[in-house]
Amino acid sequence: MNGIHDLGGAHGHGPIAAEIDEPVFHHDWERRVFPLFASLYVGGYFNVDEFRHTIERMDPAHYLQSSYYEHWLHAFETILLEKGVISAAELRGTATPTASAQPATVLTADMVEAVVLGGASARAAEDVPGRFKVGDRVRTKNLNPATHIRLPRYARDKVGSIEIVHGAFAFPDSMAHGQGEQPQQVYAVRFSAEELWGVAGPDTVCIDLWDSYLEAA
Amino acid sequence: MSHIHDHNHPHDHTEPPEDIELRVKALESLLLEKGLVDPAALEALIDTYEHKVGPRNGAQVVARAWSDPQYRRRLLEDGTAAIAELGFSGVQGEDMRVVENSAQVHNVTVCTLCSCYPWPTLGLPPAWYKSAPYRSRIVIDPRGVLAEFGLTIPADKEVRVWDSSAELRYLVLPERPAGTDGWSEAQLAELVTRDSMIGTGLPKAPGAAA
């Protein structure tokens, strides 16, 4: 979707505010929000693409006014409510919490190390052939779905070249909408600053893109 | 220079509304009451990312690559496997790609669409990496952004920005500083900063190491 999250190339957001000796979490509430991701992910309540798309659907003004971990909190609340895992009354404290309808997988402390070190690769179990090889010139399609997509707006309808062939990965555009992995090849596609921004010079941007976002150029 | 400040001053990034702590407490309490999360697991996750995972991991990878040409080759060919040799793997680093700085190319990473970042090697991202200013500007004005970090790249050298829009996570392999011949891996690792592995900085000069 052409959402507020798609920030590449926007102007007016101000200088970078780097901090010296920045703490891992700035507030205790951020520390409380952070571990809910792994716990709820392992519980099977969402995949990472659903999670990202839920953040993308935030009110644009609220998105810009809120910090990263508030985005996470918004996503947890929204997904769990939409999927009926919790109710609004339970969350408000006006209804007594009821037990989960389905038996849930609960991430327990003894599982944490294996989950952290193992992760959850989105790489497809079996390779899927792609249409392009290193050095091929490609044009990104001018795609503007209202649904989830990982082709940034600043790189639509632009010509670049295949820099790296990464292998086959689950397709976020389907994963975010309950339509399964539908794996495709992913490529790092290199674009000149001149192509993206009309600026001469040696600089480039490499963007990781799925096969179906591209056509031969 | 960048707007560097300490924690005694208001942040440029937005402070949460007053009720955010109550919202978090409400959700966490509800999930605990429903038995969907385990409090000991929550604590273990916090401890992992506050104390065990961070940019010192990535610094070990870089120092090994500077010291061992065969490791460097493996790292550039299959970043995931080479990083796992040092025991670093998993969440938000499942599929790693290492990009090497050279006389011709300076690499820098971003995630313009969200805030993807290589957790096993760099830890959780700093606030500025997740912020609208960095995500919006680094792709369109990389030299302006790098200048805010105190970094000036020669006009004829390519600045290559990696926008990690898929599930690959990028780590920059900076150039080994001159004047470090004969240094041990442990000494070299002390020169490797977090920002030098993002690409918004360079390793410390040998004389500047504490």
pLDDT in tens, B142-191: 999 999 999 999 999 999 999 999 999 999 999 999 999 999 999 999 99
Q: How close does chain B come to A20, measured CA to CA in Å?
A: 6
Provide the CATH number for the domain around residue A89: 1.10.472.20
Mind telling me how many Å the CA of B114 is from chain A's nearest CA?
7
**Which pLDDT belongs to residue B12?**
44
* pLDDT per position as a tens digit, B33-69: 999 999 999 999 999 999 999 999 999 999 999 999 9
* Euclidean distance between CA atoms A94 and B172, whole angstroms: 50
Determine whether B89 is an active site residue: no
Tokens of B155: 């006009």
CATH of B55-209, one of 3.90.330.10, 3.40.50.620, 3.20.20.80, 3.30.465.10: 3.90.330.10
Nearest to B142 among A108, A186, A203 (CB): A203
Which residue ranges make up each domain of chain B?
17-50, 55-209
Taking 70 as the pLDDT cut, the residues of chain A under it are 101-103
Question: Which pTM value belongs to this model?
Answer: 0.95
> Do the domain assignments include residue A10?
no
Q: Closest Cα to residue A188, out of A154, A138, A143, A149?
A: A138
Contact state of B158 with A36 under an 8 Å Cβ cutoff: no
How near does any CA of chain B get to the CA of A206, in Å?
5
Complex ipTM, two decimals? 0.97
CB contact under 8 A, B162 and A206: yes
Specify the pLDDT at position B28: 97
B151-176 burial code (b ≥16 CB/10 A, e <16): bebeeeebbbbbbbbbbbbbbbbbeb
For residue A21, being part of any structural domain is answered with no
Range of the structural domain that residue A159 is part of? 137-216
Cα(A207)–Cα(A186) distance, rounded to whole angstroms?
A: 10
Residues 6+ apart with CB under 8 A from A208: A150, A166, A186, A187, A188, A189, B163, B164, B165, B166, B168
Cβ contacts (< 8 Å) between B6 and chain A: which residues? 19-21
Q: Let me know whether A49 and A89 are in one domain.
A: yes
Nearest-CA distance from A175 to chain B in Å? Answer: 13
Please confirm, yes or no, whether B111 is among the known catalytic residues: yes
Look at residue A124 and tell me if it is in a domain: no
Kindly state whether residues A144 and A114 are assigned to the same domain: no
The residue annotated as part of the active site, out of B114, B136, B165, B184, is: B114
Nearest CA among A217, A204, A212 for reference residue A187: A212
Do A143 and A112 lie in one domain? The reply is: no
Is the CB of A36 less than 8 angstroms away from the CB of B12?
no
φ/ψ region of B169 (left if φ > 0, alpha if ψ in -120 to 50, else beta) reads beta
Sign of CA dihedral B202, B203, B207, B210: positive
Amino acid making up residue B56:
R
User: Quick one: pLDDT band at residue B129, thresholds 50, 70, 90?
Assistant: very high
Percent of chain B, pLDDT > 90? Answer: 89
Instruction: For residue A157, tell me if it sits in a domain.
Output: yes
Domain count, chain A: 2
Would you call A106 and B35 a contact, using CB atoms and an 8 Å cutoff?
yes
Chain A residues whose CB is inside 8 A of the B108 CB are none
Per the CB < 8 Å rule, is B130 touching A90? Answer: no
What number of CA atoms fall less than 13 Å from residue A155's CA on the CB side? 34
Question: With an 8 Å Cβ cutoff, are B26 and A5 in contact?
Answer: no
Give the integer Cα–Cα distance in Å for B63 and B185: 5
Residue ranges of the alpha helices (H) in chain A? 28-42, 48-56, 60-65, 68-82, 88-92, 109-118, 172-175, 193-197
Burial of A12 (0-12, 13-18, 19+ CB in 10 A): exposed
pLDDT at A102: 67
Q: How do A184-192 and B105-110 pair as beta strands?
A: unpaired
In terms of pLDDT, which residue wins out, B17 or B53? B53
Which residue in chain A has the smallest CA separation from B141?
Answer: A9
